[in-house]
């Protein structure tokens, strides 16, 4: 249910105190409906199970789940905010919520958390802190986490003479690419069957790329593309995280990383920017057009579900710092500040973040829930299907993760960085052009 007017976060916070004793019942004493949006169809069955269990315990609250694709999700949410018809509760992303906070679109959860004495130490370290805004208020409860790894075609690796142990122990540097680039070259095959590390390789007519290039249309800080290399090379995105006010795209550690990445295209080991446009890397792995891709843990079930693909997962390579690296992203569920049902929405959000629901999510083995016990359940479920997800979970256990950069001006940063990186990757601009872009980005905070 939704209001007929927009609320500010302060007004909504006051309303939650007034409605705290409402028990979720509608004004007429009947059931109350809470709408809930998510963007991953693979997760919908798990959350529908959570909704069924929740409704059984709360007969006066109905949960309506709507799933939308990633692009349509954010467009629809924006339209919902404007037309005052947004969902009561929605899955939120770290790249989006700072902007929503500045526009007073999210309901602060502090009063609820304190009132119900909700424990926040049950989640993986750092996840709960990600959802405390620059103003000190909480705007979400953790639902899951993800990490990045190398998905590869086992049959292609075997044909190339690459053992699993080799793929699990790759090293990388920005000068010659280390053993990681050696493997990428070995897995690349031209139309004549010549490999990238063999004489006569034709880089202009490639049948299978060793690594697939995927450039998202919206800016994700290189989460699954280049961030793991740059950080393993000693780079950090901002002066502090969260709420940094200065980016470091002028850092040589970053620019030499991007130069190496672009070099894979020049050598024919990775497709050009134009060749990859509109194509999803998991599909290219399944089709045999790529032997290896870098992607997030949330894609595990989908990739292993492709018919005819014998998939494996390897960890990100060890960089010059002597360590691997992976961005550590964590989603949360947030409440729209304009909800007509703040108490019922809170009941649903707190249940989504509870061990009961997260255990169900873990059993469905699509993502790693935020609660340790629940993600360990997911790991066990994957193992029963013969899927070793330790390349992801080891990052958490070994402390080799870094946080998704959380700052203001996310939309403006993306508007600057997407075309700048595309210009570099297409060869229209040198890598050091990113220094000027970095200055423009930092000007946004001055």
Residue written as token pair 């939309």: 411
Tokens of 63: 């949960």
Tokens of 402: 């870094």
Residues 203 and 404: beta-carbon distance below 8 Å:
no
Q: Which domains does the chain have, with CATH numbers?
A: 9-144+330-370 (3.40.190.10), 148-328+404-443 (3.40.190.10)
d(CA 167, CA 219): 29
Per-residue model confidence (pLDDT) at position 9: 34
Residue written as token pair 């709408």: 35
CA dist list (Å): 92 to 232, 347, 351: 28, 17, 16
E-strand stretches of 85-164: 89-92, 141-142, 144-145, 148-153
Per-residue model confidence (pLDDT) at position 176: 98
In 3D space, the residue among 41, 5, 442 whose CA is nearest the CA of residue 251 turns out to be 442
pLDDT in tens, 399-410: 999 999 999 898
Per-residue model confidence (pLDDT) at position 371: 96
Cβ neighbors of 263 (< 8 A, separation 6 or more) are 177
Residues of the chain with pLDDT under 70: 1-30
Bridge-based pairing state of the strands 148-153 and 401-403: unpaired
Tokens of 133: 């805004």
Bridge-based pairing state of the strands 141-142 and 206-208: unpaired
Per-residue model confidence (pLDDT) at position 13: 36
Per-residue model confidence (pLDDT) at position 71: 82
Bridge-based pairing state of the strands 141-142 and 332-335: antiparallel
Per-residue model confidence (pLDDT) at position 29: 55
Instruction: For the chain, give the number of residues.
Output: 446
d(CA 234, CA 256): 11
């Amino acid at each position: 249910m939704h209001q007929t007017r927009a609320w500010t976060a302060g007004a909504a916070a006051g309303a939650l105190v007034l409605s705290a004793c409402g028990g979720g019942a509608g004004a007429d004493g009947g059931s109350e409906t809470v709408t809930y949006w998510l963007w991953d169809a693979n997760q919908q069955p798990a959350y529908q199970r959570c909704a069924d269990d929740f409704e059984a315990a709360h007969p006066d609250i109905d949960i309506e789940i709507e799933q939308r694709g990633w692009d349509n999700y954010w467009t629809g949410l924006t339209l919902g905010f404007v037309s005052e018809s947004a969902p009561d509760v929605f899955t939120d992303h770290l790249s989006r919520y700072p902007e929503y906070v500045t526009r007073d679109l999210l309901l602060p959860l502090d009063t609820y958390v304190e009132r119900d004495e909700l424990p926040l130490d049950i989640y993986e370290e750092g996840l709960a802190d990600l959802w405390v805004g620059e103003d000190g208020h909480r705007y979400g409860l953790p639902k899951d986490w993800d990490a990045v790894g190398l998905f590869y075609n086992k049959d292609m690796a075997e044909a190339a003479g690459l053992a699993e142990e080799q793929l699990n122990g790759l090293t990388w540097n920005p000068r010659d690419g280390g053993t990681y680039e050696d493997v990428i070259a070995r897995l690349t095959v031209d139309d004549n069957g010549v490999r990238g590390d063999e004489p006569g390789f034709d880089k202009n007519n490639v049948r299978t790329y060793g690594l697939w290039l995927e450039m998202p249309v919206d800016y994700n800080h290189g989460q699954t593309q280049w961030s793991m290399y740059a950080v393993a090379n000693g780079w950090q995105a901002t002066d502090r995280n969260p709420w940094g006010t200065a980016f470091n795209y002028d850092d040589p550690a970053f620019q030499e990383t991007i130069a190496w990445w672009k070099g894979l295209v020049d050598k024919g080991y990775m497709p050009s920017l134009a060749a990859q446009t509109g194509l999803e890397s998991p599909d290219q792995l399944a089709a045999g057009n790529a032997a290896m891709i870098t992607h997030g843990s949330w894609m595990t079930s989908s990739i292993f579900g492709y018919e005819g693909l014998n998939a494996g997962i390897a960890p990100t390579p060890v960089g010059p710092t002597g360590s691997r690296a992976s961005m550590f992203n964590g989603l949360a569920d947030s409440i729209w500040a304009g909800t007509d049902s703040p108490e019922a929405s809170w009941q649903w959000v707190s249940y989504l973040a509870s061990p009961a629901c997260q255990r169900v999510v873990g059993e469905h083995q699509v993502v790693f829930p935020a609660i340790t016990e629940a993600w360990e359940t997911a790991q066990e479920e994957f193992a029963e299907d013969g899927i070793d997800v330790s390349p992801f979970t080891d990052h958490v256990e070994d402390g080799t993760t870094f946080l998704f950069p959380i700052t203001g001006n996310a939309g403006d940063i993306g508007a600057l960085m997407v075309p700048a990186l595309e210009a570099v990757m297409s060869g229209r601009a040198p890598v050091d052009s990113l220094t000027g872009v970095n200055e423009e980005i930092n000007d946004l905070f001055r």
